[in-house]
Amino acid sequence: MKASPQSAVTTPRSSGTLTSVEAPARQRSSWLENEAVLGYVLMTPALLLIVVFIAYPFSLGVWLSLTDKLVSRPAHFIGLRNFTHLFESQIFWGTVWNTIFFTFSATVLKAVLGMWLAVLLNRKIHFMRFIRATILLPFIVPTVLSGLAWVWMFDATFSVFNWGLRWLWQTTEWLLNADFGYFRGPRWLGDPAWAMFSIIMVNTWRGIPFFAISFLAGLQTVPTELYDAGDIDGATGWQKFWHITVPLIKPIAVVVIVFSFVVTFADFQVVYVLTRGGPHNSTHLLATFAYQLGMASGNLGEGAAVALFMFPFLALVILWQLLYLRKEDSQ
């Protein structure tokens, strides 16, 4: 690490003015010259934040989940009773399933659609820079605000989608001179299955740009010679995609997918704005359920327990990613 006398002089030395540094200043701060000391000092702000606002609350949360804390009452240690109560609750297991299903579906959709969009964006046409900028809007704009637009678009009485579908329905009736009856349209937020579909759709809508831009970056690292070679061999578009693009994109894809999985698993805003967990708990995710139990019912112990339940899932996923990356690194 020490500077060698033959340090590369090919790079311009921009440090000329520093030769006038006084010796006393250097001695004063000599303890910062120590790599280890400097390292610890520089790490301090980040670590301080993490300890005070993550590590400490986390352990507090663990303790809270082992108590019977109700709002405005003192907490008493009750061991794992919150967890056993939750395990007996159908709502809880429904929520766990919802979270897994929601995260899995949304991630798959985002990955597939994001990849498709990335492939589309990989062409050079006029305005492509502008297009790339605009498609990131769903990701940039605050989720609850764009979520509100979706709530209005899904409204039971005034949904623009239903209006459009009804128009298609009636036009088809008119064209075929038939009568299919009155078309009501899906109850986007009113029917449990449709509601789940709706929240997955909104989360996917929001996440596609992130996947697209990330995959695009990956696509751009693939050397075009490989595609040309593929063309010479007579490969079709699909074959080129599967055998050239996908393997080279894999490292980036893994990082993006895992990151998105973790964030989606802990999602709160989409459900809060669209359904609040309804109809009758069918769209509750662990985050919103924890909020409802803790904040709305005042049952803070149980709420903390539900929130904590996210931890093992996330740990498994992140662990898997760490191991996968280690393996890739070592190859």
Partner 1 sequence: MPQRVPQQAGGNPAGGLTRRAFLSTSMALAAAAGAEFVGGKAPALAQTRTLHVLEWSSFVPAADVIRDQQAAEFGKQAGVKVTIEHINANDLLARATAAIEGRKGPDILQLQNNSPHLYAGGLEDHNQLIAELGGDKFYPFIIDAVTVDGIARGVPYFFGGGANTYRKDIFQKVGIDKLPDTWEEHLAAGKKLKKFGMPIGQTLGHTFGDAPGFAYPVLWSFGGMEVDEKGKVAINSKETRAAVDFVKEFWFAACDEGGLAWDDTSNNRAFLAEAIACTLNGASIYFVARYTPEKTVPGMADKIGHFLMPRGPAGRFHTVGPSTNCITTYSENKDVAKHYIRYCHQKEVYEQFLVTNKGYVNGPLPEWQEHPMWEADPVVTIFRELPKYGRNTGYAGPYDRKSAEVRAKYIIVDLFAKAVQGESPQSAIAWAEQELKNVYERA
Partner 2 sequence: MEARVGETFRKRLIVFYIPLFLFLVALLFPFYWMLITSVKPDFELYNARNAPFFVWHPTLSHWVQLFQNTLFTRWAWNTLCIATASTAISLFAGVLAGYALSRLTFPGSTSFGIIIFITYLVPPTLLFIPLASVIAELHLLDSPWALILTYPTFLVPFSAWLLMGYFKTIPRELEECARIDGATRLQAMTKIVLPLGMPGILSAGIFSFTLSWNEFLYALVFISSPQQKTIPVGVVSELMKGDVFYWGALMAGALFGSIPIAFVYSFFVEHYVSGMTGAVKG
Round to whole Å and give the CA distance between 137 and 156. Answer: 26
Q: Is the peptide bond before 138 cis (omega within 30 degrees of 0)?
A: no
Taking CB within 5 to 8 Å according to partner kind, which of partner 2, partner 1, none is near residue 168?
none
Closest distance of CB 303 from partner 1, Å: 9
Cα three-residue angle 63-271-205, rounded to 5 degrees: 125
H helical segments located in the chain: 23-28, 35-50, 56-65, 81-87, 90-121, 128-135, 137-140, 143-153, 160-176, 192-219, 224-232, 237-240, 246-265, 269-274, 286-291, 300-308, 310-330
Q: Is 55 in the site for partner 1 (CB under 8 A)?
A: no
Q: Is 156 in the site for partner 1 (CB under 8 A)?
A: yes
Interface segment toward partner 1; rule CB under 8 A; list 96-104, 199-207, 260-268, 287-295: 287-295
x/- binding map, residues 85-114, to partner 1, per CB under 8 A?
A: x--xxxx-----------------------
DSSP class of residue 76?
-
H helical segments located in 220-243: 224-232, 237-240
Backbone angles phi, psi at 188, to 5 degrees: -55, -40
At residue 67, the 3 state secondary structure works out as strand
Rg (CA), the chain: 27
x/- binding map, residues 235-274, to partner 1, per CB under 8 A?
A: ----------------------------------------
Round to whole Å and give the CA distance between 308 and 315. Answer: 11
x/- binding map, residues 161-200, to partner 1, per CB under 8 A?
A: ---------------------x-x--x-xxxx--x-----
Q: Is 70 in the site for partner 1 (CB under 8 A)?
A: yes
Residue 190: count other Cβ atoms within 10 Å of its Cβ. 14
Taking CB within 5 to 8 Å according to partner kind, which of partner 2, partner 1, none is near residue 89?
partner 1
Q: Is 291 in the site for partner 1 (CB under 8 A)?
A: yes
Taking CB within 5 to 8 Å according to partner kind, which of partner 1, partner 2, none is near residue 323?
none
- Show the tokens assigned to 77: 């240690």
Residue (112 or 295) nearer to partner 1, CB: 295
Closest distance of CB 193 from partner 2, Å: 21
Taking CB within 5 to 8 Å according to partner kind, which of partner 2, partner 1, none is near residue 208?
partner 2
Q: Is 277 in the site for partner 1 (CB under 8 A)?
A: yes
- Show the tokens assigned to 68: 């019977």
Taking CB within 5 to 8 Å according to partner kind, which of partner 2, partner 1, none is near residue 73?
partner 1
Which of 138, 276, 324, 325 touches partner 1 (CB under 8 A)? Answer: 276
Angle 192-219/246-265 helices, nearest 10 degrees?
Answer: 140
Taking CB within 5 to 8 Å according to partner kind, which of partner 1, partner 2, none is near residue 71?
partner 1
Taking CB within 5 to 8 Å according to partner kind, which of partner 1, partner 2, none is near residue 163?
partner 2
Residue 138: count other Cβ atoms within 10 Å of its Cβ. 17
Residue (105 or 275) nearer to partner 1, CB: 275
Q: Which residue ranges make up the site for partner 1 (CB under 8 A)?
A: 68, 70-73, 81, 85, 88-91, 156-157, 182, 184, 187, 189-192, 195, 275-281, 291, 294-300
